Structure 1
Amino acid sequence: MQVTPNSRSRPAGDAAPVKVSYALWLVLLAAAGTFALTMGVRQTMGLYLSSVNTSTGLGIANISLAFAFGQLWWGLTQPFAGAIADRVGTARVLIAGVVLIAIGTVITPFMTTTWGLILAIGVLAAGGAGMAGPSVLMAASTRMVPAAQRGLATGIVNAGGSFGQFALAPVAMGLTASLGWMASMQWLGVLVLLALPAAWILKGNSNAIAAAAASASGAAVLTARQALARAVATPSYGLLAAGFMVCGFHIAFLATHLPGVIESCGMPPAIAGWALALIGLFNIVGSLGMGWAVGRWRMKSLLSLLYATRGLAVLAFVLAPKTPAVVLVFAAVMGVTFLSTVPPTAGLVAKMFGPANMAMLFGVLMLAHQIGGFFGAFLGGQVFQVTGSYDWVWYIDIALAAGAALIHLPIREARPARLAAA
Structure 2
Amino acid sequence: MRTASSTLSAAHLLRDPRLVLLAGSIIALVAVGMRHSFGLFLTPITQDLQSINRESFGFAVALQNLMWGLAQPFAGMMADRFGSARVIFVGGALYAAGLIFASASSTALGLTLGLGVLVGLGLSATTYAVVLGAVGRRFPPERRATALGVASLGGSIGIFLSVPVTLALIDSFHWSMAFVSLALVALAMCIMAPLLAGRAQAEGPEQSLRAALEEALGHKGFVMLVLGFFVCGFQLAFIGTHLPAYLLDRQLDVWLGGAALATIGITNIAGTLACGAIGDRVSKKNALAVLYLIRAAVVAVFVLLPPSPLSTLVFAATIGFTWLGTVPLTSAIVAQVFGPRYLATLVGIVFLMHQLGSFLGAWLGGLAFEQTGSYDLIWWSVVLLGIVAALLHWPIDERPIAAEARFVGATK
Task: Give the TM-score, by structure 2 length.
Answer: 0.93
Displacement of 1:302: 0.3
Map 1:11-410; keep pairs closer than 5 Å.
19=12, 22-57=15-50, 58-206=52-200, 209-210=201-202, 213-214=203-204, 219=205, 221-410=206-395
Q: Is the 2:141–2:336 contact (alpha carbons within 8 Å) kept by the matching residues of 1?
A: no
CA-to-aligned-CA distance 1:122-151 (integer Å, 9 cap, x gap) = 110111011111000001001122332111
Q: Is the 2:161–2:262 contact (alpha carbons within 8 Å) kept by the matching residues of 1?
A: yes
Name the residue aligned to 2:5: none
Alignment: residue pair count: 397
Q: Which amino acid aligns with 1:239?
A: M
Aligned-pair Cα RMSD in Å: 1.6
Task: Give the TM-score, by structure 1 length.
Answer: 0.91
CA–CA separation in structure 1 for the residues paired with 2:11 and 2:125: 21
Q: Which amino acid aligns with 2:36?
A: Q
Residue 187 of structure 2: SS of its match in structure 1?
helix
CA–CA separation in structure 2 for the residues paired with 1:180 and 1:60: 19
Q: Which amino acid aligns with 1:296?
A: R
Q: Is the 1:66–1:117 contact (alpha carbons within 8 Å) kept by the matching residues of 2?
A: yes
CA–CA separation in structure 1 for the residues paired with 2:14 and 2:64: 39
CA–CA separation in structure 1 for the residues paired with 2:124 and 2:263: 24
**Structure 1, unaligned stretches of length 5 or more?**
1-16
CA–CA separation in structure 1 for the residues paired with 2:17 and 2:121: 29
Correspondent of 1:413 among 383, 398, 403: 398
- Structure 1 residues 421 and 177: CA distance shift in structure 2, 3 A: closer
Q: Is the 2:234–2:357 contact (alpha carbons within 8 Å) kept by the matching residues of 1?
A: yes
Displacement of 1:420: 4.5
CA–CA separation in structure 2 for the residues paired with 1:276 and 1:289: 20
Displacement of 1:377: 0.4
Displacement of 1:21: 6.3
Displacement of 1:18: 7.9
Name the residue aligned to 1:4: none
CA–CA separation in structure 2 for the residues paired with 1:390 and 1:321: 15
Q: Is the 1:41–1:189 contact (alpha carbons within 8 Å) kept by the matching residues of 2?
A: no
Q: Which amino acid aligns with 1:43?
A: H
CA-to-aligned-CA distance 1:150-184 (integer Å, 9 cap, x gap) = 11111011111010010010001111111122111
CA–CA separation in structure 2 for the residues paired with 1:29 and 1:415: 28
Percent identity among equivalent residues? Answer: 38
Q: Which amino acid aligns with 1:244?
A: F
CA–CA separation in structure 2 for the residues paired with 1:149 and 1:230: 25
